[in-house]
Structure 1
Amino acid sequence: MTESLASVRERHAALVATEPGLRIRERAARLGVSEAGLVAADCGLVSIELTGRPQELFSALGGLGQVLALTRNDWCVHERHGEYTGIEVSEAPVGLVLGPDFDLRVFFSGWAFAYAVTEGGRQSLQFFDKAGVAVHKVYRTGQSDPAAWDAYVARFAAGAKRAVEPQQFPPAQEADAPADAEAFRQHWRALQDTHDFFGMLRKFGVSRVGALRTAGPELGQEVPADAVESLLQRSADSELPIMCFVANRGMVQIHTGPVRKLARTGPWFNVLDERFNLHLNTEAIASCWVVNKPTRDGWVTSLEAFAADGEMIVQFFGARKPGTPELPAWRALLQSLCPQALAA
């Protein structure tokens, strides 16, 4: 049976009374409910459920002015300040934002719940997948358009809130290694675009970490977990522009540019720049890989960090656009992390 909003609220109050310092994801896990379930039940906040097709809700963000966009997974939080321009949304389940401030890839098929939230005086729009996990949040700032924000909420406000009935996603059907390792390596070496990599994984039915273990050191090399911190520090020191990708089931959020202000807080390593923040739990990194892919523009390298369950935590490239080669300084930095030479 679906638990009532009142029951969730009551159990949440008892938890907060004994453990007041928990974040909302931690509280949801302790109570055995989803984060969307806590939001719907007004646990420590006030929410208004929003209704409408996900594509419609998302495309309307373009009128809100300057906001803070946040995408996260369990181990990494990616925040960018800016305005939603260059939104490309249609009937298809995939959308894009290709503006000067935000670079997003949106996967609407799993989107299921949306709320306007007020918490501690701070207003946000929060979007969740069918499992009740947050896929994207938009925070109002001092540069947002107040009238446009209020009009957005009024336009999409539902008449009443539903209790959240989360649905679990089926587990991925992936092998730890391809059935034909040599055919897999040959396919990898014939890639023309970095975007073809996911299709290759699906073709061979292999997990991403399994693919890296199979590829051979010229295509993928495991490096120490502290390579991420080293990469960010060396990029900041040299003012080398990077691309930082953080993803979940419903969203990929990308920062392109330099990083400058770095700081550690316990297990979290942080980028604290004016328009871009990253919060990475480095203790969650179970494996870290330098990945080398051929493209029409030459070889392209990335650094990818994975959790113990094989899910990607964060991914870094050198700043580039299609049609331009990889930055030599980025290539040299990634190669310096590797004990063996990469294919070139």
Structure 2
Amino acid sequence: MCQANVLFEAFEEARLRAPHMECHTLAALLDCSEGEIQAARLGRGVHSLALTACDLVMMLPQLGQVQMVTRTPHAALSSQLETCRIDADQHHASIRDHQALAMQLLLPCWYWVCLSHERPTPTAREVPCLQVFDRFGRVLHQLYGLTPEAPGWNMLEYFAALRRPDFTHRIDIANVCTRGHRPALLKAWRAMQGPDDFSRLLSRHHLRRVEANRAVAGHFSTSVAPERFIMALAGACRRTQPTRASLIHAGGAHHHRACFRHFHQGRRGILSLESEHLTLSLDSSALHEVWQVMRPGHAGLDTSLEAFDSSGEMMLALDLTETD
């Protein structure tokens, strides 16, 4: 509780002195997770939700128009949803919207969900917000209510509780595909027919995405300069056909296809790309490794450009399969 009080006081001080500072920036300064900061606010603007992940997902259509944000430490993909189709069970959920949005959620990764009022952007007004965290205190998804009067938000308040999460620390273990295992990996790669096959390949060979890309270099992947990824982001605004952007982490995948209209390079290397219903942002200073990757799919080879940070975590991917 002592640590929680310290974090709460730091949050209040930051909100007073730097109201535009985002929570993930404060967490980095305090060397803690965003989940720990939000947990320190329990009963003081933040409540836990006593709902299963599946039940919560099935309530999303009752929340009206929402902004769904999927995050990694150095990138974010934000989609505005008015109506959507949801399929869910106890372990998986999929959300689709007019064939432009496709999200696959791994519900067992949802360790803690809290309800609060937050700003979708530093200059926006506060709106109801759901935040989903994994057991390491990392935020997986944020869902902002753009129509706070929707009945679902009042319903959620009935499930508000003060259950305190018990986050744990994460230990990163890097794996390498040895020379002896490489032929089997290449054979499995050639036999893939879709994203599910790729997920099973990574699990079977105990590899992260970046490690698999490195292992098939010269066959199905090519290392490219980080500047190439920045050029691809800027070039998306000049395409006449929609570009699919993807953000993939341990909690699932967020894909959205759109025709981008604005590319902006802000201070401290923050890049943003915007369309009518989609915004992506990326910290270009964290770009460390970029791969152009080909994977067999239902309609032939799918090609993507994938960016990773220095720890090997995927930041963002752009689909290069479609051409003008």
Q: For this structure pair, what is the TM-score category when the shorter chain's length is used for normalisation? A: 0.7 to 0.9
Aligned match of 2:318: 316
Deviation at 1:24, TM superposition (A): 1.0
Q: How does 1:76-87 map to 2 (within 5 A)?
A: 76-87=75-86
Q: How does 1:70-149 map to 2 (within 5 A)?
A: 70-91=69-90, 93-100=91-98, 102-119=101-118, 121-141=126-146, 144=147, 146-149=149-152
Contact map agreement 2:177 2:215 (CA 8 A) in 1? no
Contact map agreement 1:176 1:207 (CA 8 A) in 2? no
Q: In the alignment, residue 227 of structure 1 is paired with which amino acid?
A: R
Aligned match of 1:168: 169
Aligned match of 2:272: 270
CA displacement, residues 224-281 of structure 1 (integer Å, 9 cap, x when unaligned): 1122222233232132312111133323211112212111112111112221111111
Change (3 A) 1:181 1:24: same
SS in 2 for 1:217: coil
Q: In the alignment, residue 103 of structure 1 is paired with which amino acid?
A: A
SS in 2 for 1:236: helix
Identity of aligned residues (%): 22
Task: State the alpha-carbon separation in 2 of the partners of residues 304 and 177 from structure 1.
Answer: 22
SS in 1 for 2:46: strand
**Which deviates more, 19-28 or 301-310?**
19-28
Deviation at 1:127, TM superposition (A): 1.6
Deviation at 1:21, TM superposition (A): 6.0
Aligned match of 1:304: 306
Verify: 1:154 aligned to 2:157, yes or no: yes
Aligned match of 1:241: 242
SS in 2 for 1:226: helix
Contact map agreement 1:28 1:38 (CA 8 A) in 2? yes
CA displacement, residues 190-213 of structure 1 (integer Å, 9 cap, x when unaligned): 322243122222222333323222
Contact map agreement 1:68 1:140 (CA 8 A) in 2? yes
SS in 2 for 1:195: helix
Aligned match of 1:257: 258
The CA RMSD over aligned residues, in Å, is 2.6
Contact map agreement 1:126 1:137 (CA 8 A) in 2? yes
Q: In the alignment, residue 32 of structure 2 is paired with which amino acid?
A: V
Q: What TM-score does the superposition give when structure 2 sets the normalisation length? A: 0.87
SS in 2 for 1:46: coil
Contact map agreement 1:239 1:259 (CA 8 A) in 2? no
**Gap runs ≥5 in structure 1:** 319-325, 331-344
SS in 2 for 1:138: strand
Deviation at 1:4, TM superposition (A): 5.9
Task: State the alpha-carbon separation in 1 of the partners of residues 53 and 135 from structure 2.
Answer: 12
Q: What TM-score does the superposition give when structure 1 sets the normalisation length? A: 0.82
- Between the two proteins, the alignment pairs up a number of residues equal to 315
Contact map agreement 2:190 2:296 (CA 8 A) in 1? yes
Change (3 A) 1:135 1:186: same
SS in 1 for 2:163: coil
SS in 1 for 2:67: strand
Aligned match of 1:340: none
Aligned match of 2:283: 281
Change (3 A) 1:29 1:270: closer
Contact map agreement 1:34 1:166 (CA 8 A) in 2? no
**Gap runs ≥5 in structure 2:** 119-124
Change (3 A) 1:23 1:176: farther
